Amino acid sequence: MTDVFTPAKRSAIMAKIRGKDTAPEKIVRRLLHKHGYRFRLHRKDLPGCPDIVLPKYRTVIFVHGCFWHGHRCKRGAKPSSNSTFWEDKINRNNQRDKAANKRLKSMGWRVLVLWQCQIGDDLQVRLLRFFGTKYLAKTQRQKRHS
């Protein structure tokens, strides 16, 4: 299938896509904040410039767009046109992600990767599992005292 936009129009559309403050990222931030977690955003001094950094818990969270990071879901489908370019680009993104995760772990950070397609009803359960019983206990205490 050919693109319905001219190359100039497609370029203008793609140029407007940003990597910070995306809708999925904001959903994760709101949920963390609601449960009393405080965090920093996009710390450039850490490998990969994580989307969310919880220094107190030595934890970083990356919220990946399925298309840009090559997730194997319907949102991660690669375009049929200019396939070599897209395959190379997504492979470079994946290599960069793996290197950043490895460096963060070697520095003592816990790494959580959330995919755009996973941001939904079960997000809270996934975060509960990741943070463990301390997170659950903290949330239950807050509810009792409210």
Other beta carbons within 10 Å of 116: 20
What are the beta bridge partners of residue 31? Answer: none
Rounded CA-CA distance 38/128 in Å is: 16
Distances in Å between the Cα of 112 and the Cα atoms of 1, 5, 77, 80 are 36, 36, 23, 31
Query: Rounded to two decimals, what is the model's pTM?
Result: 0.79
Rounded CA-CA distance 118/143 in Å is: 26
The pLDDT of residue 112 is 95
The pLDDT of residue 141 is 52
Contacts of 25 (CB under 8 A, 6+ apart): 51, 52, 63
Mean pLDDT split into 10-residue runs, the chain, 146 residues: 76 73 90 89 95 95 91 83 88 95 97 91 82 56 53
Per-domain residue ranges of the chain: 21-145
User: Is the domain covering 21-145 a CATH 3.40.960.10 domain?
Assistant: yes
The pLDDT of residue 110 is 95
> What's the DSSP call for residue 61?
E
